[in-house]
Amino acid sequence: MLESDKELLESVLKRRFFFVPSFDIYGGVSGFYDYGPPGCALQANIIDLWRKHFILEENMLEVDCSILTPHEVLKTSGHVDKFSDWMTKDFKTGEMFRVDHLIEQTLNNRIVAEESSTSVAPKDKNLKQLNHSIPLDGDIIRKYKEVLNKLDGYSGDELAKLMEVFEIVNPTTGGKLQSPMEFNLMFETSIGPSSQMKGFLRPETAQGQFLNFNKLLEFNNGKIPFASASIGKSFRNEISPRAGLLRVREFLMAEIEYYVDPQDKSHKKFKDVQNCKLSLLSRDIQERASAVPVRMTLGDAVNSKIIDNQTLAYFMARIYHFLISIGIDNSKLRFRQHMANEMAHYATDCWDAEILTSYGWIECVGCADRSAYDLTVHAKRTKEKLIVRQTLENPVNVSIWDIDFKSGNFYKKLRKQSALVKDHLTSLSQSSLKELSLKLELEGSIQLHVDDIENDIELTNDDIKIVNETKTIHVREYIPNVIEPSFGIGRIIYALIEHCFWRRQEDEARAVFSFPAKIAPSRVLVVPLSSNKELVPMTNLTTSLLKKCKISFKVDDSSVSIGRRYARNDELGTPFAITIDFESKKDETVTLRERDSKLQVRGSIESIVNAIDSIINDELSWKDATKNLTKFEIQNTEN
């Protein structure tokens, strides 16, 4: 995007109150934004469409869970320990930076400076101090690019090493920086009057859904697969928010948790999407330090194991169709697979839908296979079974390693500790039990390290027996796996705004947002040509008809010229304008103007509203919907 276009875009977004920094009159706080009426309506329409596209279409179970979450839940989920970024502090000024972003910015600047210095002479001698002091040759640039590609996955030690090797300093002052420190991204507070219960603002809506798993499964009559979904605010205490709506501290998420049998991740509707072609930037491609995705059908991608399973691929297709339907530019959309070292602590495979904006490729939707991680850890911590029971059509005989606590000295020997040790042993996997059984047989005793017991516990053949038994299983019990499509609504809105923005060739100052009719903040502008009272009855007739058809509209009966009013309309992305003039009074006809083409047609109010209705509902195109209406010659009304 051209710098001048971006300036116009930003000025329109502010002037038309799409969104503004929160607490603006107090100087603002970075990472917080308020949506004004058009932004708010855009958001509501996108959410509405999301609900139809995912929740209704796929019969998902929507839930609305608490934002404030007690410490214990997020300790179990791993967020207290692992949901953090690395930051560094300037020794002198105290300014703080997010380490990965700082390295990214520095290396990119050096590459750009080097590449442009080969054609033009460096303009600024001070560049030296601003992280550009290293002479770059081709090898180093390749090294930089490799680091940039893997930047999401480095550990603290690795980042410290990179800072040292690449001589990363404060980019504005050149000052020295401290070693990276871990900073947890959750906002902390305390619940209740005693200040003893620690809580956090949730960093994702997922945990609330997992905690309700049993109730959801029961609501679904015990059947699997099924999905829960939730739309709501989440919070991340970003170290240094930047890039407008793209990196904020409070944001609206829409998340789906699809529960599936770990032994069968096929999807019954996969055949409907297998021919859908997506741009895939797989792990392989990235490891070759390339950023050129391959276009491939989902059928091929699953067959060649690029995408792990049908369910993951099915949701990638659904995500793709959703984004395209709201107006995201297909050529600026790709799916990038997470590198092994980059995935969240819970994920086994993950693909991000990335959208190209003026800030680069931005992750807008994540689609992760979280495996059984969350349900497993919560079940373990709470001792609540979070499982699916599947009645087997044909009972199966299985060989099972089981522990007999009763026939030995177990309880007598361990007394108060017996409950803890029993819990420990029963939570072990079949292979661990087999191993212990062999050890008992060979060595006569085993040593166990049990949580919350200081010394190791020794057990002998006199205490317990670990035996192999053949059992007939009628009901299979398993912890389902979870496939999670997770949408950052604010990021999608911003990308969409950029993709829909353009300026009229005939008038460079006139910005237009070409939002699809079904998500535009307002569908119709009703424009009485003058404030003459004679036009009021027709205006009222028009608005009552629009209301009846549930089409949102605004009336602009201000005294400014019709051209100015159309221009305002374009800036708000309103797709249609109905103009009421003095002819309207005579023959009950009105004019319909289409935003992008400025084409106008004329017809009865009913026929015009019907045309609009069929376009909004995706039933007809503009051309088909208006083919029986009269083309209307524009008498220079646009100026």
Give residues 172-191 in contact with a copy of itself (rule: CB under 8 A): 183, 187-191
The tally of CA atoms less than 13 A away on the side-chain side of residue 71 is: 11
The answer to whether the beta carbons of residues 638 and 568 sit under 8 Å apart is no
Which residue lies nearer to a copy of itself by CB, 116 or 190? Answer: 190
In angstroms, what is the minimal distance from the CB of 63 to a copy of itself? 6
Q: Which stretch binds a copy of itself (CB under 8 A): 23-31, 119-127, 394-402, 452-460?
A: 23-31
Which of 6, 7, 10, 68 binds a copy of itself (CB under 8 A)? It is 68
In angstroms, what is the minimal distance from the CB of 195 to a copy of itself? 10
CA distance linking residue 183 with residue 345, whole number of Å: 16
Q: Which residue has the tokens 């661990």?
A: 432
Give the contact letters, 365-404, x = binds to a copy of itself (CB under 8 A), - = no. Answer: -------------x--xx-x-x------------------
Q: How far is CA 598 from CA 371, 514, 630, 634, in A?
A: 51, 12, 15, 9
**Pair of tokens at residue 240:** 């240094």
Which of 10, 24, 284, 477 binds a copy of itself (CB under 8 A)? It is 24
**Pair of tokens at residue 157:** 């030690």
Which residue lies nearer to a copy of itself by CB, 35 or 622? Answer: 35
Show the DSSP H helices in 450-501 as ranges: 489-500
CA distance linking residue 450 with residue 445, whole number of Å: 16
Which residue lies nearer to a copy of itself by CB, 35 or 144? Answer: 35
Instruction: Indicate the SS3 state at residue 286.
Output: helix
Which of 123, 142, 215, 271 binds a copy of itself (CB under 8 A)? It is 215
Give residues 256-285 in contact with a copy of itself (rule: CB under 8 A): none
Instruction: Tell me the three-class secondary structure of 214-270, residue by residue.
Output: HHHHHHCCCCCCEEEEEEEEEECCCCCCCCHHHCCCEEEEEEEEEEECCCCCCCCCH
Instruction: Indicate the SS3 state at residue 377.
Output: helix
CA distance linking residue 552 with residue 567, whole number of Å: 19
Instruction: Indicate the SS3 state at residue 471.
Output: strand
Asked whether position 541 contacts a copy of itself by CB under 8 A, the answer is no
Which residue lies nearer to a copy of itself by CB, 29 or 392? Answer: 29
CA 637 to centroid of chain Cα atoms: 43
Which residue lies nearer to a copy of itself by CB, 198 or 413? Answer: 198
Asked whether position 94 contacts a copy of itself by CB under 8 A, the answer is yes
CA distance linking residue 263 with residue 497, whole number of Å: 42
Give residues 289-308 in contact with a copy of itself (rule: CB under 8 A): none
Give residues 220-259 in contact with a copy of itself (rule: CB under 8 A): 221, 232-233, 235, 237, 239, 249-250
The answer to whether the beta carbons of residues 263 and 480 sit under 8 Å apart is no
Asked whether position 549 contacts a copy of itself by CB under 8 A, the answer is no
Q: Which stretch binds a copy of itself (CB under 8 A): 18-26, 346-354, 440-448, 479-487?
A: 18-26
Closest among 164, 354, 380 to 246, alpha carbons compared: 354
In angstroms, what is the minimal distance from the CB of 188 to a copy of itself? 6
Which of 8, 37, 152, 376 binds a copy of itself (CB under 8 A)? It is 37
CA distance linking residue 483 with residue 265, whole number of Å: 9
Q: Which stretch binds a copy of itself (CB under 8 A): 31-39, 269-277, 320-328, 443-451?
A: 31-39
CA distance linking residue 574 with residue 567, whole number of Å: 10
Asked whether position 589 contacts a copy of itself by CB under 8 A, the answer is no
**Pair of tokens at residue 126:** 């001070």
Which of 5, 53, 58, 67 binds a copy of itself (CB under 8 A)? It is 67
In this structure, what DSSP letter does residue 600 have? E
Which of 155, 558, 561, 621 binds a copy of itself (CB under 8 A)? It is 558
CA 330 to centroid of chain Cα atoms: 18
Sign, CA dihedral 285-290-291-295, equals negative
Sign, CA dihedral 50-256-68-26, equals negative
In angstroms, what is the minimal distance from the CB of 96 to a copy of itself? 5
For the chain, the distance separating the N- and C-terminal CA atoms, rounded to the nearest angstrom, is: 27
Q: Which residue has the tokens 């208006």?
A: 626
Closest among 581, 578, 577, 611 to 595, alpha carbons compared: 577
Give residues 314-333 in contact with a copy of itself (rule: CB under 8 A): none
Q: Which stretch binds a copy of itself (CB under 8 A): 34-42, 124-132, 267-275, 313-321?
A: 34-42
Which residue lies nearer to a copy of itself by CB, 36 or 299? Answer: 36
Which residue lies nearer to a copy of itself by CB, 10 or 469? Answer: 10
| Cis? peptide before 225, omega within 30° of 0 | yes
Which of 163, 177, 201, 388 binds a copy of itself (CB under 8 A)? It is 201
Which of 8, 65, 224, 541 binds a copy of itself (CB under 8 A)? It is 65
What is the maximal distance between C-alpha atoms in the chain? 104
CA 221 to centroid of chain Cα atoms: 30
In angstroms, what is the minimal distance from the CB of 276 to a copy of itself? 22
In angstroms, what is the minimal distance from the CB of 365 to a copy of itself? 21
Which residue lies nearer to a copy of itself by CB, 249 or 338? Answer: 249
In angstroms, what is the minimal distance from the CB of 507 to a copy of itself? 22
In angstroms, what is the minimal distance from the CB of 555 to a copy of itself? 8
Asked whether position 350 contacts a copy of itself by CB under 8 A, the answer is no
Q: Which stretch binds a copy of itself (CB under 8 A): 65-73, 298-306, 430-438, 532-540?
A: 65-73
- How many residues bind to a copy of itself according to rule CB under 8 A? 73
Instruction: Indicate the SS3 state at residue 567.
Output: helix
Give residues 122-151 in contact with a copy of itself (rule: CB under 8 A): none
Asked whether position 198 contacts a copy of itself by CB under 8 A, the answer is no
Asked whether position 96 contacts a copy of itself by CB under 8 A, the answer is yes
Which of 12, 13, 80, 211 binds a copy of itself (CB under 8 A)? It is 211
